[in-house]
Structure 1
Amino acid sequence: MSLLDQLTKDMVAAMKAKDKEKLSVIRMLKAAVTNEKIKLGHDLSDDEANSVLAREFKQRKESLAEFEKAGREDLINQMKHELAIVATYMPKQLSESEIAQIVKETVAQVKAESMKDFGKVMGAIMPKVKGKADGKVVNELVKKMLQK
């Protein structure tokens, strides 16, 4: 079942359950996926759909950080709830140890020796972990590995 089909099915279920918050988030996700489909001019592959979800998740995560800085408790709770809903549609995220293992293998694979090779390593890693890992975590682990 495609992501769009799943979102439509869940949207109907949220309507029946009168869950306005979940319905609102699902509608936003469905709109984002549909807009991407129109922009690209074809049905989205799983990777493309996951990229849209990752972008939506990242936006909400950044908003949450801003709301926490501003001390907006009302918006913090809402954003956490939205993050939880978006996370249910995302592929399983890799743990930090799994990401570290991929970083270690990729550094050896591209024969990186210093921070000069940072771009080469990141370029090789990101396609492997796309949608499954936060880019910030990958970035930090690569820097840590290359500074040794």
Structure 2
Amino acid sequence: MALIDKLKQEQKSAMRAKDKIRLGTIRLALSAIKQREVDERITLSDDEIVAVLTKMVKQRRDSFAQYESAGRQDLADAEKAEITVLEEFMPQPLTETEVAALIANAVTESSAKGMQDMGKVMALLKPQLQGRADMGKVSGLVKAQLA
């Protein structure tokens, strides 16, 4: 089942269950997906939808951290609930060892010699890791391996 269809099915289920937080979060996700489709005049693939969801989760994590530091636990809890709902639709995250193995494989495959080849390595990794690992951490790991 396509990811967009799964989101729409879950939206209907949330409506029937009268789960307002889940319903609102799924509506936000569908709205963001539709906005990108309209802006770019394309139909998004599952990988592109995962990229949209990844961006939404990242935004909510940033908001969560800011709310917690400001002492607004009520708002932080709302962001945490939205993160939980969004992560249900994302692929399973990879473990540290799986990420390390993919990085080693990409370095070997791209024949990377140093930092000047980081772009090649990241280009190979991005499709494999999109939505399954924090790309900021992956970038740091690649830098460490190439240094």
- CA displacement 1:88-137 (0-9 Å, x = unmatched): 01111211211111111111222223333323322222122222221112
| Contact residue 91 and residue 131 of structure 2 kept, 8 A | yes
What is the 5 A alignment of 1:1-148?
Answer: 1-147=1-147
Q: Which contiguous aligned blocks of 4+ residues in structure 1 show a shift greater than 4 angstroms? A: none
Q: CA RMSD in A?
A: 1.7
List alignment gaps of at least 5 residues for structure 2: none
Is 80-89 or 51-60 further displaced after alignment? 51-60
| Contact residue 63 and residue 79 of structure 2 kept, 8 A | yes
Once residues 15 and 2 of structure 1 are traced to their aligned partners in structure 2, the CA distance between those partners, rounded to angstroms, is 20
Once residues 106 and 2 of structure 1 are traced to their aligned partners in structure 2, the CA distance between those partners, rounded to angstroms, is 28
| Contact residue 4 and residue 46 of structure 2 kept, 8 A | no
Once residues 137 and 3 of structure 2 are traced to their aligned partners in structure 1, the CA distance between those partners, rounded to angstroms, is 26
Once residues 127 and 10 of structure 1 are traced to their aligned partners in structure 2, the CA distance between those partners, rounded to angstroms, is 26
Residue identity in the other structure for 2:25: V
List alignment gaps of at least 5 residues for structure 1: none
2:133 counterpart SS class: coil
TM-score, normalised via structure 1 length: 0.88
Once residues 28 and 84 of structure 1 are traced to their aligned partners in structure 2, the CA distance between those partners, rounded to angstroms, is 14
Aligned residues: 147
Once residues 4 and 62 of structure 1 are traced to their aligned partners in structure 2, the CA distance between those partners, rounded to angstroms, is 25
1:113 counterpart SS class: coil
Once residues 73 and 32 of structure 1 are traced to their aligned partners in structure 2, the CA distance between those partners, rounded to angstroms, is 26
TM-superposed CA distance for 1:31, in Å, is 0.5
Paired-residue identity, %: 39
